[in-house]
Amino acid sequence: MEEHKQVEIKIDDEFTIRVDKGMEDIIKNFFHWKIETCNCCIDYKGLVWIEFCDFEDWKKFLQLALRNNIEIKCMDHKKNTLWDFLQEKVKVKLVYDEELIEDPNNANMVLGTGVLIICVGLTFPKEFIDEFKKLFFEVLKLE
């Protein structure tokens, strides 16, 4: 797979991350709204991919999109919203596993903790990135 140009973004005074160029404004804004992502890609097999580290972050994002949809549709039921975009153009994949930690007795092994981890990945065709950004920033406004 071809390497994508990455840029470093500062989340706060003590936390920076590297993301694909073209995704930095989206990912930084998710963190501004206290919604964490753990992976993203601007062109994964022709798709934009954003993964939420925790199901609760995905749920918070959906709740914000739904509230915005209700407000917008009350004024103009024909206007497209982020909620519509998520319903019509996004595929969602749920990935779950057990949290792992390094085995203190064997550096080459890991141990299960019994803690369930649920990640949510969304993908949509790369050609929709500008539409996504427009709708995304209508909902998750920078304050």
pLDDT in tens, 109-136: 999 888 998 999 999 999 999 999 999 9
In a domain, 94, yes or no: yes
In a domain, 122, yes or no: yes
User: How large is the C-alpha radius of gyration of the chain?
Assistant: 17
Tokens of 61: 């994002």
Greatest pairwise CA separation for the chain in angstroms:
62
Confidence of residue 11 (pLDDT cuts 50, 70, 90): confident
In a domain, 108, yes or no: yes
CA 86 to chain centre: 12
Q: Cα separations (Å) of 121 from 16, 58, 135?
A: 21, 9, 19
Cβ–Cβ under 8 Å, residues 65 and 140: no
Number of domains, the chain: 1
Query: Is residue 1 scored above 50 in pLDDT?
Result: no
Angle 14-20-24 (CA atoms, 0-180°, nearest 5)?
A: 55
In a domain, 1, yes or no: no
Instruction: Tell me the percentage of the chain whose pLDDT exceeds 90.
Output: 62
Mean pLDDT of all residues in 18-36? 92
Residue 109: domain span: 6-139
